[in-house]
Structure 1
Amino acid sequence: MSSSSRVWLITGASSGIGFEMARCALEHGDRVVATLRKPSVLDSFASAYSETQLILVKLDVTNPAEIKQAFQRAKEAFGRVDVVLNNAAYGVIGEAEAVSDDLARPMFEVNFWGAVHVSQEAVRFFRDENQPQGGHLLQVSATVGITAYPNTAFYGASKHALEGFSESLIKELPPAWNIKGTIIELGGFATGMTSAIQFAPRHPAYPVTDSIHHKIREVWETRPQDSARLLRASDPAKGVQKIYELTQLDNPPLRMPLGKDSVSFIQQFAAELTKSAEEYASWSDNIAYEVPQE
């Protein structure tokens, strides 16, 4: 193990992007703290590595005490943490009117508040525990955190909230701390995430149409194994290699779209927003607040 190898702490490492990122980092000679709610899920995978390369840590990101314990385990095992992949999340699908609080609120606890608490501990650890100071926080968001789609109102809202929090947090960090932050805008990837999607019952007031969004929901519900083909999904193993390359940049971007669909949707969103800003710019010309004269 090279003395220059980095230490990764990955949340949601049981499958998908989290699992592939752990495997990618290990293949590059880095060390990994893979966190997940049920560590036994990765026992077979972990058996191929020594504890000087990989440790599995139980972590439910809705439990702040377990977050702190996970970082402490990382310090005990490897002395520091260089990269945090804040990845744990799941989706709730359904029309905005159809999704109950009982479905939406637990998702926010994971996707937003869990990610917030991991981020706060990551920044504290990078600053106060690492010697020398520094680290890279990778916030795993999604294209729906930039531009929303039908049937993803609450999942998109959780990612929009994470976007706002993350951008503010990253911009607050003094350069002297040597802490970098990047929000990764994932497009569709052929992962096992579809098995973790929760579906609200269809709202009876909304017609079933031939739109792509209804077709995707139908496939997710009835033939999830076909969803990658329908979505023209990207390969997670290839995607995490790009994330790895991102962490090697001296000046990584604030946001990185990943996947052809993500790039296309975000470009379209940016063009439409710019068009509106230009078209209606004059509407703001004469609305300045006039300070009352005393």
Structure 2
Amino acid sequence: MSSNNNNNNKVWLVSGTSSGIGLSLVQKLVLEGYKVTALTRSPEELEKQVSKDKIDNLLALKTDITSEASVKGAVEKTIQKFGRIDIVVNNAGYGYLGAVEESSLDDFKLNYEINLFAVMNIVKQVMPHLRSQGSGLILNVASYLAFTAVVGNYTSYIGSKFALNGFTVALDQEVSKFGIRSVLVSPGGFRTKFLGGNLKVAKNPIPEYKSKELEAYFNSVDGTQIGDPDKAALAFIKISQKDPKTLPSNIFFGSDSYQIMKSQIEKLTKELEENKELTFSTDY
């Protein structure tokens, strides 16, 4: 991709940049001449992985995305350094494997804290700037699991992504009148650190749920996922170069995500028609 486009003066703010798609996105954006604020737990480590001759394009900030004060400070530093924010990518995510019965309420809360409330926190802090400039694009990274449950014992993660789906769509209705779009990005499986070492598992598993077997399966497929993080990064950049008004409410990444969603839409359509008589029976 050439950096000679009229969009590379845009300023990006990206969370979840320590590894995977977030890291690939930051690397490519900086290389292409975009200005980027990367919210990360380890700014020094992130800076080491960015092209040295483009380091001035990067503002790597140690940020607790669950803290209002920390995120507000990061947003203010971005405005001070780059003057504006154009594109926000809420990429940080947390995966937890465990059936409801074998999980604590705190296990569930942490999933929602990262996957939903941290997104709300970032959106709340950037919105005054986007609204005052009359433009902006918010890309919330969910999953095809924000629409269907294809695996068991993943209830808290799937629930948090369903919630993020609803939040993103509702937010778009709320802010589009200000020239701002809120769009969901739903990846399939990508070769990142999300599975394997980064996946949290129930501490007190109940044998009947077979969470340990599912964990072993996840570990076995880790590294063989069809999705390429570098190509996902390029897809994000392509999205940013489109007219925001033409963007759909949801963009799927990966052929696996496409196939699963297509099957889910067909299933829901079939069930809707099969139950049409019962559905209509509740009208006056």
- TM-score between both structures, scaled by the size of structure 1: 0.87
Give the counterpart of 1:205 among 204, 208, 219.
Answer: 208
CA-CA distance at 1:38 after TM superposition:
2.4
Question: Which amino acid letter does the alignment assign opposite residue 247 of structure 1?
Answer: S
**RMSD (Å), alpha carbons:** 2.1
**Residues 25-58 of structure 1, C-alpha deviations (whole Å, 9 max, x = no match):** 1222211111112222213124714553111111
Instruction: Give the equivalent residue in structure 1 for 2:190.
Output: 189
Question: Which residue does the alignment assign to 2:78?
Answer: 74
**Percent identity over paired residues:** 28
1:93 aligns with 2:85: no
* Secondary structure of residue in 2 paired with 1:151: coil
Amino acid at match of 2:252: P
> Take 1:188 and 1:50, find their aligned partners in 2: how far apart are those partners?
30
Residues 118-159 of structure 1, C-alpha deviations (whole Å, 9 max, x = no match): 12223322112x3xx211100000111111121211000111
Structure 1 residue corresponding to 2:113, chosen from 109, 112, 120: 109
Equivalent-residue separation in structure 2 for 1:276 and 1:219 (angstroms)? 31
Contact 1:86 1:115 in 2 (8 A): yes
Q: Cα offset for 1:287?
A: 1.6
* Structure with bigger gyration radius: 1
Cα shift at 1:191: 0.6
8 A contact 2:144–2:260 mirrored in 1: yes
Tell me which of 215, 218, 236 is aligned to 2:216: 218
Alignment of 1:87-166 (within 5 A): 87-128=91-132, 130=133, 133-148=134-149, 149-166=151-168
Task: Give the conservation status (yes or no) of the 8 Å contact 2:184–2:249.
Answer: yes
**Is 1:52–1:77's contact at 8 Å kept on the other side of the alignment?**
no
Matching residue's letter, 1:32: V
Paired with 2:135 and 2:77, the residues of 1 have a C-alpha distance of 18
Which blocks of at least 5 consecutive residues in structure 1 are unaligned? Answer: 290-294
TM-score after normalising by structure 2? 0.90
**Residues of 2 paired with 1:113 and 1:218: CA distance?**
30
Question: 1:257, 1:46 → 2: CA distance?
Answer: 27
Paired residues of 2:186 and 2:251 also in contact (CA < 8 A): yes
Q: Secondary structure at the match of 2:191?
A: coil
Look up the match of 2:282.
Answer: 287
The answer (yes or no) to whether the contact 1:163–1:183 under 8 Å persists in 2 is yes
Of the candidates 228, 247, 250, which is equivalent to residue 252 of structure 1? 247
47 and 240 in structure 1: CA distance in 2 versus 1, 3 angstrom threshold: closer
What whole-Å deviation, never above 9, does each CA across 1:55-83 have from its counterpart, x for those lacking one?
11111111011111111111011000111
